[in-house]
Amino acid sequence: MFETLQPAPADKIIALIGLYRADPRPGKIDLGVGVYKDRDGKTPVMRALREAEKRLLQGQDTKTYLGLPGDTGFNTAMVKLAFGPAADMTRIRAAQAPGGSGALRLVAELLKRTRSDATVWLSDPTWPNHPPVMRGAGLKVRDYPYFDAASGAVRFDDMLAALGTAEAGDIVLLHGCCHNPTGANLDAAQWAKVTDLVVERGLLPFVDIAYQGFGEGLDADAAGLRLLASKVPEMVVASSCSKNFAVYRDRVGAAMILARNSAEADVAMSQMLAAARAMYSMPPDHGAAAVRMVLEDDGLRADWEAELEEMRLRMLRLRVQFADALRRQSNSDRFDFIASHRGMFSRLGLTEAQVERLRAEYGVYMVGDSRINVAGLPEDGMDDLAKAVVSVLD
Ligand code: LMR
């Protein structure tokens, strides 16, 4: 039977992990997969998480099933993190999911059950796993313009014009903060306009907030989501703890529903849990249990927030240093946008061939669309890296 299969094309981001590991060159630089790294290139277990895991190990006296929604305390804490402490819990429901991708798929399965012919509008460009996850649930996808590669800015008028043609009932997937792959984000006035548009046209906002805390701060990064929640009758959210709690491999995320009222929220939740049961039944516990402990314990939470802020500020510093180095080496302001972008990524605006040259000639790894993970920038080698980038330009 398997002889009928062709090899699946490699995922462009995940493939970089293997390519980088296999490269024997000592000076290689990893700007590929979106994983936070410290100055030494390490991705540490966060302090508060480490402590929570110790407490879990000592205190956990059973590993019996928790049930389809996973850890309900975790779910409530995640809702408050995203929607804010004043979240209207009568209208919101949440299910723990296996990572951000699991949360996206769970929400997509729910949407398929309620609006099987709806279209999900995705930003162009978007995270490469968005289209397969949506299509995997049987939903149609379309693009809305988002990024102007020449200026590094959001094509906001074009975005609004495209979304103005969406049918009532269509779904608009928005990056809550830290747009992946571009790093170009909506400002407050733009969020307000998008909110007005989705209300006027009867569109359903679907917010992917996988990088909360990596842009402007935990609350500021959720401002767009919270504005939407205050105005729209219904919305859906996928959140992830992979980045802001650094629990990548533990697979920790949450799928959230804001419904018009409590009764409809309950029905939607029952459908989402039925979808979870059919896909994987129950989510893995460990990472979510540790995250819950951090979020519920004042001391651990304060330490987590402090460490997250250190990570965010470090990425901001690296952005400025790299933009400065590129300005020096290229004698131009072509790359200044890197300093004003926010989050883990920016796109340099290089061709695939230039990206390939950087890998082959300098051992510099980035995604083929020239997306860089700013946390991987070498603090002590900015000018060398900038020189390499400039050397492959036309
Ligand atoms: C990324 O964009 O690099 C991360 O979200 C990792 C992934 O799964 O693609």
CA 288 to chain centre: 17
CA angle 258, 264, 265 (to 5 degrees): 40
User: Strand ranges (DSSP E) for 162-305?
Assistant: 171-175, 204-209, 235-240, 253-258
By most ligand atoms within 8 Å of CB, the mutation choice from 14, 37, 123, 127 for ligand 1 is 127
Amino acid at 380: D
Taking the CA of residue 128 as reference, the ligand 1 atom at the shortest distance is 9
Nearest CA to ligand 1 atom 5: 34
Query: 232 Cβ partners below 8 Å, 6+ apart?
Result: 195, 198, 199, 205, 258
Distances (CA, A) of 302 to 49, 50, 292, 294: 12, 14, 14, 9
pLDDT value for 35: 96
Residue 394: pLDDT over 90: no
Q: Is the CB of 34 under 6 A from ligand 1?
A: yes
Taking the CA of residue 180 as reference, the ligand 1 atom at the shortest distance is 2
Helix, strand, coil percentages in the chain from 3-state DSSP, rounded to 5: 50, 15, 40
Average pLDDT, whole number, for the chain?
A: 97
pLDDT value for 282: 97
Q: Is the CB of 329 under 6 A from ligand 1?
A: no
- Name the pTM for this structure: 0.97
Query: What residues are annotated to the active site?
Result: 127, 208, 210, 243
Q: Is the CB of 253 under 6 A from ligand 1?
A: no
pLDDT value for 356: 96
pLDDT value for 80: 98
Distance 215 CA to ligand 1 centre (A): 16
pLDDT digits (tens, 9 = 90+) for 226-283: 999 999 999 999 999 999 999 999 999 999 999 999 999 999 999 999 999 999 999 9
CA angle 99, 232, 197 (to 5 degrees): 100
Nearest CA to ligand 1 atom 4: 34
pLDDT value for 36: 97
Domains in the chain, ordered, with CATH? 2-45+300-391 (3.90.1150.10), 65-296 (3.40.640.10)
For residue 378, the number of C-alpha atoms closer than 13 Å in the C-beta half-sphere is: 15
For residue 292, the number of C-alpha atoms closer than 13 Å in the C-beta half-sphere is: 17
pLDDT digits (tens, 9 = 90+) for 67-108: 999 999 999 999 999 999 989 999 999 999 999 999 999 999
pLDDT value for 276: 98
Distance 33 CA to ligand 1 centre (A): 6
Q: Is the CB of 33 under 6 A from ligand 1?
A: yes
State whether ipTM is beyond 0.95: yes
